[in-house]
Amino acid sequence: MPSLLIVDDEQALRHGLAHYLAHLESPFETIVTAENGQTALAKLEQQPFAAALVDINLGDINGLDLISLINQRYPQTLVVIISGYDDFDFARRAIKLKVLDYLLKPIPRSDLKQLMATLAQKLATVPPVKPVANDLATSGQTYIEAHYSDKNLSLTRCAQALFVSETHLSKQLKQMTGMTFSEYLTTYRLKKAQELLRHPQLQYTITDIATKVGYEDAHYFSRVFRKKLGQSPLQYRQH
């Protein structure tokens, strides 16, 4: 049986809504709640959800941005907005995000009953939600490869950009690549350094190359290069 996710930063509302829906005839076997966007994304990583009720006003992430991430990562999940704002711009963005419905708080019980009937009908005509391949590690790799030249790039910054916890991102990267965040970043930086060193037309100095691949200290870069590749950057270039 499918599961429903309720995302709202108001504790009384999300718990009250979950309690009411649990006693209402609905297509959902389980109802899970999340108090913010990061928690919601973590729960979506753990299990598939057939539908999600998402508040626009969340403490850490704009609800519309969260919906955009859900659409990208979990396209089978049906999304319904629950909001206290009757705002045309929100509604217009919601249409672009292809949400199933847009409910205004306080939500009448008749509207909730109608929503459950609509969701039941939708779920009856589509295949059940299956766990999708986790693309968080891929997103992490993409972020690293786009920002490797930034000397301040860190696991913390990458996790914040992807709206996930550092621990969760690190675990997913390790499972997919066999490397920690730091190891993957170092490997990618050295790969780029090797490309620059091999390029016959680009006679950059070792200091220039170190800077271009994210190292502030050229001596430290050379030590890392030698440790990983068994020779100095200059020796690598000469061979």
Contacts 24+ apart (CB under 8 A), 140-147: 140/169, 140/172, 140/173, 140/181, 141/173, 141/176, 141/177, 141/184, 144/181, 144/184, 144/185, 144/188, 145/188
Q: Which helix (H) or strand (E) holds 124?
A: helix 109-124
pLDDT given for residue 132 in this prediction: 53
Q: Please give the radius of gyration of the chain, using alpha carbons only, rounded to the nearest integer.
A: 24
pLDDT given for residue 86 in this prediction: 66
C-beta separation of 225 from 236 below 8 A: yes
Which residues are CB-contacts of 96 (< 8 A; sequence separation ≥ 6)? none
Per-residue pLDDT of the chain (239 residues; tens, 9 = 90+): 799 999 999 999 999 999 999 989 899 999 999 999 989 988 988 889 999 999 988 888 888 889 988 988 888 999 999 987 766 666 677 777 888 988 888 889 999 999 999 999 999 887 665 555 567 888 899 999 999 999 999 999 998 888 788 888 899 899 999 999 999 999 999 999 999 998 877 788 999 999 999 999 999 999 999 999 999 999 998 87
pLDDT given for residue 63 in this prediction: 87
